[in-house]
Structure 1
Amino acid sequence: MFGREKKSEKPQLPERSSTEDIAVAGLAPTTPADGSANAFSEGGKNYRNMGRGSTALVLITNQVGMGILSLPAQLQVLGIVPGVITIVGLGLLSTYTAYELLQFYRRYPHVVNVVDMAKVVGGTPLEIVVAIGMMIKLCLSCASATVTLSVAFNSISDHAMCTVGWIGISAIVCWLLCLPRQFKFVAHVGIPSTVSIFAAIMIVIISLGVADPKGVPPEGWEKEIKVVGNPTFREGLNSCLQICYAYAGNIGFVSYMAEMKDPSRDFVWGLAALQAFSIPLYLLVAIAIYCLSGQYVASPALGSAPQIPAKIAYGIVLPALFATGLVFGHTAVKFLYVVSMRALKSTHQMTDNSAKSWGVWVGSATAFWIVAFVIANAVPIFDSILSISSATFVAWFTFGISAVFWFFLNKGRYFSTPTKIALSVVNALIICQALFMNGAGLWTAITGLMEIFGGDGDIEGSFTCADNSIF
């Protein structure tokens, strides 16, 4: 159904040497460069050690994070019915495009990230473009995590410190979390991360069930629930962008495949577990919090609760927010590390525990989080940075680029069978969707940010000390 390639088609060998093909820090091949075997080691350690359980935890940690906190407010804009359709539809679409990445990996098992995939498709020029885009996307994701953390800290402390300071503290903690070099480490934070965000959301839901949401006037209120909303073009598109952000995890999936014991089997199982968990959770959170908060729903959603429960919820959700920074930051640092070691002509030392390898790793992490800190202060508003991130690169790395890879894999066979014809149409529409979100979406996101900067509030621009939890 999904157009899996025939087994008779042999994978093409990479152009680089077998050592240089290992684009994940700490991986050294103990088998031929064609990727036919899955044994990797570092100083006797097996880096191909993620089984089904670890895979599911890493994928859930990678995807279920701060994006969920924007969903209830989007139902206020779109209405319950269109909002639910959008959440489910984009979830199913992201599942299909993730499976397309696995199809590519099966044909070219030497690839270990989307940048390697781009090199196979379009050579060095496309490799460079995708590499730059991936790093900017990861920077935006980590900047979004630090902005969300600053909102949490401002809410908990009643804005006891300048917002720039809270963003700085958040970036430093995330930097420390990114210092371990194995993705397996991410699996260890998967359970506490998932439990923390679920517990925080339940606190908000329970508190809204027994008390009015934050912002309700003393004289009382009449709840307004929109079954079908009536948003403007810009409002509707901006809401769709923020829903897309909840499915922004695809960019790291290929890197995780490189550390799975059996990617072809374990990734399918992990992907199914991820979406079976995340889509129902997204619907539950969005509908429950919106129906309880009505027109007073906030974004992030934890701010909808009364003041004391909101502070408790923000405190409990901190592990999940830090885990988001860890997952995306670790992916970026690992890529920077390998590029740096190649530039230093030291790929033979990537598996070492030497001062040089660790110095390059720590330097890569430091440079990355400095850039993320600057971006977070440039766009310190939760909704705005999520929308900008979705419009610029989530549209491509979650949806568009997978469709491009599908056309490459099926070159010359687009109309060979009715199934291929249908999939050709679907993937062409996915590319069109990515182009539309990229262009119109970026205009929508930036226009909204400029309105906040030019409004009557305290936030008048970047690097502000004002309280960003009020937006």
Structure 2
Amino acid sequence: MTRASSASSARTYPDRRGGSPPAASPPASPSRPLLPPAKHHTSQHIEHYGAVDNADESRITVRDAVFGDLEDGGPDYRGVTPASAFVLMAKANFGLGVLAIPSVFDKLGLIPGIAAIVAIQAMYTWSASFIGPFKIAHPEVYSLGDAAFVFAGKAGREFFGAMFIIFFVFCAAAALVGVSVGLNAVTAHGACTAVFVALAAIVGWALSSIRTLSDVSWVGWAGLVSILSAVVTLTVAVATQDRPASAPPHGPWDKNFKLIGSPSFVEAMTSLNVILFSSASSPIYYGIVSEMKDPHKFTKPVLATYAFLTSFYVVVGSMVYYFCGQYVASPALGSAGLFLKKVCYGLALPGLFASLTIFNHVSAKVVFVRLLSGTRHLAANTPRHWATWLGSTFGAMLAAYLIASAIPIFSSLIKLSGAVFCPITAIAPMVLGWNHDHLWSKRDTPLSRRERVTAAINALILCLCVFLTIAGVYAAVVDLYHEESEYTRPWSCENNAGPVA
């Protein structure tokens, strides 16, 4: 077989190691046909099609600004559709966060809780809407670190890249704890909790080792249906039962329902940390848009994702809080009694595994792309390709396992991750990327009215990010200290799911 040569009009991009791919050579004859792309559809990332003598005996090669030459027979790194993008984004957010949202209303009260959810979701929607245009303007970007290299240079790449990986390792750790809680609930603590965490890590590593996001999307669909069914079942259950599981079993009970709460500063900030965590997966959107067939269609699934998340968090969270009040559990699936607790967790387990899969896949993929960038092994089925990929997924899962075993407290992991990582990785970088393209790189060009308004909103959001990070970390550390208990010691075999029998 002859390898397709590049067309004379092909563009080249520098790779992440500072070099450039080989210069494109012109076709031998202008009369030779250019082959159309096969499964790799047209977009700004496709740099050339092969010019060959015999199309029947040739391999179709497409140059991608991130993955290099994409050939038929290799992994399809450009197969994500808008529907797949929506389910990946929705499932990456909808899972661990929604299980903690009802407890937010118990601290803040119904009205402030709804206002906080809507405000934070609006910030996420605003910042995430910049990702698609930024990717189109800078096609070599695949990860948050790559985006930071554009607006902050090498130091920015290393800082934000490290923050991204650590954040999603923490997310995977929270998913591991969530799975262990579910397994304890379903089996009535049928085994040591440390064993359940290890089992979840093994299954999660196997699923997250699927190589492309387009193939991972089926896990996302199954997980989204799973979590939706569990949360809807919970909502119906608490609405039809006489009292929540943790309320007094007999006699009158006071759910202490509050329209406006009176939380302490630590309680208020930890509640905001939970809301921040519930929709903080936007850093993975750089990878999703990079693997889309048409990145120009990215904005619609983003808007659909946040509309879905906001409406569901407000409706389900407020309903569960209305019926449970101060007796709402965190995770919320334990609010409806022992039998329904088993049912809800049984329904939710595939969704928790799906969250674990996505979190580990995206953190490992960033390491994988960084290690093999500029080499043919990135998109070819070579031994080095497979060894690097499986090593990346295993290493990311091992780190998540160690964190989950050391801090086996679901709510504390959510709150700590929300404070330390969410504003600085899921909001601020997208705003800084817009500022780079529209302000810093165009200093001699007058700003339009729309750009001035956007710049002012961005400045306000960056100030809020600083406040949320500093205050949130303080509150999370204080909360973690006070939540220590006997059954949450590191590598403990004790039940972490509360009452199960």
**Same-fold call, TM > 0.5?**
yes
Shift of 1:191: 2.3
- 2:408 aligned to which of 367, 376, 380: 380
**Contact 2:13–2:20 (8 Å) recurs in 1:** no
- 1:31 aligned to which of 47, 66, 70: 47
Does residue 359 in structure 1 map to residue 387 in structure 2? yes
CA distance in 1 between counterparts of 2:66 and 2:489 reads 53
Shift of 1:44: 5.5
Does residue 260 in structure 1 map to residue 288 in structure 2? no
Aligned equivalent of 1:295: 326
- 2:173 aligned to which of 135, 143, 150: 143
**Pairing 1:188-207 to 2, within 5 Å after superposition:** 188-207=218-237
**Contact 1:400–1:433 (8 Å) recurs in 2:** no
**Pairing 1:317-396 to 2, within 5 Å after superposition:** 317-342=348-373, 347-396=375-424
Q: Bigger radius of gyration, 1 or 2?
A: 2
CA distance in 1 between counterparts of 2:188 and 2:468 reads 36
CA distance in 2 between counterparts of 1:46 and 1:322 reads 24
**Contact 2:81–2:293 (8 Å) recurs in 1:** yes
Aligned equivalent of 1:248: 280
Higher relative contact order (CA 8 A, sep 6+): 1
**Pairing 1:57-456 to 2, within 5 Å after superposition:** 57-211=87-241, 212-220=243-251, 221-264=253-296, 266-342=297-373, 347-410=375-438, 411=440, 412=443, 416-453=447-484
Q: Which moved more, 1:148-157 or 1:249-258?
A: 148-157
CA distance in 1 between counterparts of 2:444 and 2:230 reads 49
**Contact 1:31–1:39 (8 Å) recurs in 2:** no
| CA displacement, residues 321-376 of structure 1 (integer Å, 9 cap, x when unaligned) | 1111111111111112223335xxx8222222222211121111111111100111
Q: For residues 126 and 466 of structure 1, do their structure 2 counterparts lie closer, same or farther at Cα, with a shift above 3 Å needed?
A: same
Q: For residues 365 and 318 of structure 1, do their structure 2 counterparts lie closer, same or farther at Cα, with a shift above 3 Å needed?
A: same
CA distance in 1 between counterparts of 2:410 and 2:72 reads 40
Report the 3-state secondary structure (helix = DSSP H, G, I; strand = E; otherwise coil) of the residue aligned with 1:94. Answer: helix
Aligned equivalent of 1:6: none
CA distance in 1 between counterparts of 2:95 and 2:396 reads 20
Q: Which amino acid aligns with 1:214?
A: A
Shift of 1:223: 2.7
Report the 3-state secondary structure (helix = DSSP H, G, I; strand = E; otherwise coil) of the residue aligned with 1:469. Answer: coil
CA distance in 2 between counterparts of 1:191 and 1:34 reads 27
| CA displacement, residues 412-438 of structure 1 (integer Å, 9 cap, x when unaligned) | 279834433322221112212222222
Shift of 1:42: 5.5
Q: Which amino acid aligns with 2:208?
A: C
Report the 3-state secondary structure (helix = DSSP H, G, I; strand = E; otherwise coil) of the residue aligned with 2:421. Answer: helix
CA distance in 2 between counterparts of 1:42 and 1:116 reads 27
CA distance in 2 between counterparts of 1:182 and 1:190 reads 13
CA distance in 2 between counterparts of 1:154 and 1:34 reads 45
Aligned equivalent of 1:49: 79
Q: For residues 34 and 348 of structure 1, do their structure 2 counterparts lie closer, same or farther at Cα, with a shift above 3 Å needed?
A: closer
**Contact 2:89–2:282 (8 Å) recurs in 1:** no
Unaligned runs of 5+ in 2: 1-10, 23-39, 49-62
**Contact 1:55–1:270 (8 Å) recurs in 2:** yes
Q: RMSD over aligned Cα, in angstroms?
A: 2.5
Q: Which amino acid aligns with 2:268?
A: G
Shift of 1:234: 0.6
Q: Which amino acid aligns with 1:350?
A: L
Q: For residues 351 and 204 of structure 1, do their structure 2 counterparts lie closer, same or farther at Cα, with a shift above 3 Å needed?
A: same
CA distance in 2 between counterparts of 1:31 and 1:399 reads 31
| CA displacement, residues 255-298 of structure 1 (integer Å, 9 cap, x when unaligned) | 0111111112x211111221222211111210111111111001
Shift of 1:111: 0.9
Q: For residues 82 and 42 of structure 1, do their structure 2 counterparts lie closer, same or farther at Cα, with a shift above 3 Å needed?
A: farther
| CA displacement, residues 159-212 of structure 1 (integer Å, 9 cap, x when unaligned) | 232222211111111101011101111211232211111111122122212322
Q: Which amino acid aligns with 2:328?
A: V
Q: For residues 451 and 42 of structure 1, do their structure 2 counterparts lie closer, same or farther at Cα, with a shift above 3 Å needed?
A: farther
Q: Which amino acid aligns with 2:161?
A: A
Q: For residues 357 and 36 of structure 1, do their structure 2 counterparts lie closer, same or farther at Cα, with a shift above 3 Å needed?
A: closer
CA distance in 1 between counterparts of 2:282 and 2:348 reads 23
Q: For residues 285 and 45 of structure 1, do their structure 2 counterparts lie closer, same or farther at Cα, with a shift above 3 Å needed?
A: same
Q: For residues 403 and 125 of structure 1, do their structure 2 counterparts lie closer, same or farther at Cα, with a shift above 3 Å needed?
A: same
Calculate percent identity across the aligned residue pairs. 29
CA distance in 2 between counterparts of 1:149 and 1:395 reads 26
Q: Which amino acid aligns with 1:394?
A: C
Shift of 1:378: 1.7
Shift of 1:40: 4.3
- Specify which structure has the higher proportion of helix: 1
Aligned equivalent of 1:469: 497
Runs of 4+ in 1 over 6 A off after TM superposition: 36-39
Report the 3-state secondary structure (helix = DSSP H, G, I; strand = E; otherwise coil) of the residue aligned with 2:447. Answer: coil
CA distance in 2 between counterparts of 1:424 and 1:259 reads 29
CA distance in 1 between counterparts of 2:320 and 2:263 reads 20
Q: Which amino acid aligns with 1:232?
A: S
CA distance in 1 between counterparts of 2:457 and 2:181 reads 39
Report the 3-state secondary structure (helix = DSSP H, G, I; strand = E; otherwise coil) of the residue aligned with 2:298. Answer: helix
Aligned length: 447
